[in-house]
Amino acid sequence: MALEDAKTQVDQAFTREDLKGLSFENTFGGATSFLRRRYTKDLTHADIAVTGIPFDQAVTNRPGTRLGPRAVREASALQSPDAPYGWDICPASELAIVDYGDLAFDYANVAAFPDTLTDHIRGILATDTATVAIGGDHYVSFPILKAYAEKYGPISLLHFDAHSDTWQDDDFSRVDHGTMFYKAVKSGVIDPATSVQVGIRTTNEDNLGVPTIDAPTVHAIGPVETARRIREVLGDRPVYLTFDIDCLDPAYAPGTGTPVWGGLTSAQAEAILKELRGINILGGDVVEVSPPFDTTGATAIAGAHVAMSILCLLGWRITGR
């Protein structure tokens, strides 16, 4: 059946009739939505909306992450014909997932961006649809978290990154991808005591009490124990998962703005995420994929796999496994 479908399917991003089901059109052709899901603003029957946030005006080093959503969508076509290996759930077949398109915003009015993004996510959440966002630089997580906190109360943050992003900055009008979680803690959006950061390998003397499993510790204890410690912190609290692709070592994800050596391998990240099945995840994002520095496409591929893993984790919660 898959072979016959491959002969006739094309542009499933526009022609797909059912929100569920694998897509067998040629991975190298056709219009690229995320995972060949339908582009639509109709969330009537949707479980999850994937949305791109092509914003990179908050970076401190190399720009280019505004092009991340497009690259991750293209890379996701490699996964569209198959169920994800080892997950015991197939989001494309079991969940109603749509590609909600990208956030529309005035790129020259940076001050207006945060509220524009919060409104965008707020509108999706109002339909009881979860979001998986594709960035964009990491600042985008803060406006998204505001919308989640409005709906669910203070959120526990599961944060994969090379950087803590909790450097002190009491000027809340500044748009900066290194201080937004400081602001999220100070504004009561996330609960630091029940949040956890994984893969950190840069110095920040005050992490606001957020439990941290740094990269050397992950290497020492392994993925299974890392996941156990994460679960111990999170408990059954509502969780938002944010994955900065620079959590991975530059050998695995070179296409990012602020690469730091000594990071997680892609295999470690995959294993940790799989071991987190059953956490009370409400939404998530993958950020900081910068295609201009991603000469082989490996970073976008990693980003697409992270996004798929977030879909799997959401699927475990939504289906009640």
152-158 mean pLDDT? 97
Whether residue 73 contacts residue 52, with contact meaning beta carbons closer than 8 Å, is answered with yes
Sequence ranges of the binding site for Mn(2+): 138, 161, 163, 165, 244, 246
Whether residue 306 contacts residue 68, with contact meaning beta carbons closer than 8 Å, is answered with no
66-72 mean pLDDT? 98
Structural domain span for residue 149: 2-319
Reading the block at residue 209, the tokens are: 């009490």
Question: Residue 86 belongs to a domain with what CATH number?
Answer: 3.40.800.10
Read off the pLDDT of residues 231-278 as tens digits, 9 standing for 90 and up.
999 999 999 999 999 999 999 999 999 999 999 999 999 999 999 999
Q: Give the total number of structural domains in the chain.
A: 1
Using pLDDT thresholds of 50, 70 and 90, give the confidence band for residue 321: confident
Residues with Cβ within 8 Å of 18's Cβ and at least 6 positions away in sequence, in order, are: none
Read off the pLDDT of residues 300-310 as tens digits, 9 standing for 90 and up.
999 999 999 99
| 2 secondary structure, DSSP code | H
Residues with Cβ within 8 Å of 280's Cβ and at least 6 positions away in sequence, in order, are: 234, 236, 237, 238, 239, 317
Read off the pLDDT of residues 194-238 as tens digits, 9 standing for 90 and up.
999 999 999 998 889 999 999 999 999 999 999 999 999 999 999
Task: Kindly compute the dihedral angle of the four CA atoms of residues 280, 307, 159, 65, in this order, to the nearest 10 degrees.
Answer: -150
Sequence ranges of the binding site: 138, 161, 163, 165, 244, 246
142-170 mean pLDDT? 97
Helices (H), 235-280: 266-275
3-state SS class at 97: strand
Give residue 8's pLDDT: 86
* pLDDT at residue 1 greater than cutoff 60: no
